[in-house]
Amino acid sequence: MRESTAPVLVLGSMLSVHFGLAVGKQLFGTVGPMGVVALRLGLAALLLLLLHRPALPRTRADALLVLGFGTAIAGMNLVYPALRYLPLGTASALQLIGPVTLALLASRRTADLALAALAGLGVWMFHLPGGGQAPLPGVLLALASGASMAGYLLLSRRAGARSAGGAPLALAVAWSAVLTVPFGVAESGTALLGTRSLVTGALVAVFATALPYSLELAALRRIPPRTVGVLQSLEPVSAGLAGAVLLSEHLVAAQWLALGCVGAASAGTVVRVGGRCRGRPAVARVAGEVPAGTSLADAPADRPRAAPAGPAPAEGRGG
């Protein structure tokens, strides 16, 4: 695959995550948020295990990497219970605070502190009287998802560097399913086995987990790091548009401005910090020569949103 196609993979991952999140939110009335998480990760784990047929980790270090990677993916899925309280765009923007904070922790430069203030301004604007008054439980869940996304960023590129295939991803998603499926079963019981639940859950598993994570891991082996960061800084705006089109979530002007503040802070962080790392061998950055959290773009692959340089992204990537 040529490097010129890698940005297309990142954009495809971002759009896939948001489509999957929107479809998952539509299923809340049937199985609840944790039921959606159980379907998403459970079915994605089965798909990835069948596709890659991974061998179990051979060393303690590999096993710990898989467990950490999978735990971070599970944590990113806290964006789903957050969506019970928040519009998709708002949840995605709050998620992005985790990766932005990760990148700025190692910096004391005035300009970088200004970017942190810009991100903070975006979060504060969600609480303005004209900003929709984001409920505190939703905010806390989205921020926890963002913190997990930061952990995902630190681990996913390392996982990709250890293996050219998808074995680490398959094992990590399987572990995340072990952690989350019991909560989904407790919340929804046999409703998880309904035809509509399984079909919709399969769509969420493919579009919000298996496809975007695989696209991210492929792109981050080829794409220039700063390009990934800037592209994924569009996550909040993309999520806002997905929420408006697919879920009829209409944000007020202050909320759109807040999304723009967070996205701009993310893009500025990637450009500034990525520039300071220019010329350093990528293998040295992965090996830890550059301190963890130095760059969103150089950190390991959610949108999830999200996303390596921006959300899962998780696992919005979160998720």
pLDDT score at 311? 37
Q: Is a pLDDT exceeding 50 seen at residue 167?
A: yes
Give the Cα separation of 303 and 208 in Å (integer). 8
Contact between 34 and 180 (Cβ < 8 Å):
yes
Contact between 73 and 151 (Cβ < 8 Å):
no
pLDDT score at 82? 94
pLDDT digits (tens, 9 = 90+) for 6-32: 777 877 887 888 888 888 898 999 999
Number of Cβ within a 10 Å radius of residue 280: 14
pLDDT digits (tens, 9 = 90+) for 261-296: 877 777 776 666 555 544 333 222 222 222 233 333
> Judging by beta carbons within 10 Å of its beta carbon (0-12, 13-18, 19+), is residue 231 exposed, middle or buried?
buried
Q: CA nearest 207: which of 72, 3, 25? A: 25
pLDDT digits (tens, 9 = 90+) for 211-229: 887 787 777 777 555 555 6
Give the Cα separation of 26 and 38 in Å (integer). 15
- Tally of structural domains, the chain: 1
The domain of 182 spans 3-318
Give the Cα separation of 104 and 269 in Å (integer). 7
pTM: 0.72
Q: CA nearest 142: which of 208, 184, 83, 73? A: 83
Q: Which of 37-41, 186-190, 211-215, 264-268 has the lowest mean pLDDT?
A: 264-268
Q: Is a pLDDT exceeding 90 seen at residue 178?
A: yes
Contact between 252 and 240 (Cβ < 8 Å):
no
Kind plus residue range of the DSSP H or E element containing 137: helix 136-162
Share of the chain above pLDDT 90, in %: 24
Categorize the per-residue pLDDT at 171 as very low, low, confident or very high, splitting at 50, 70 and 90. very high
Average of per-residue pLDDT values in the chain: 74
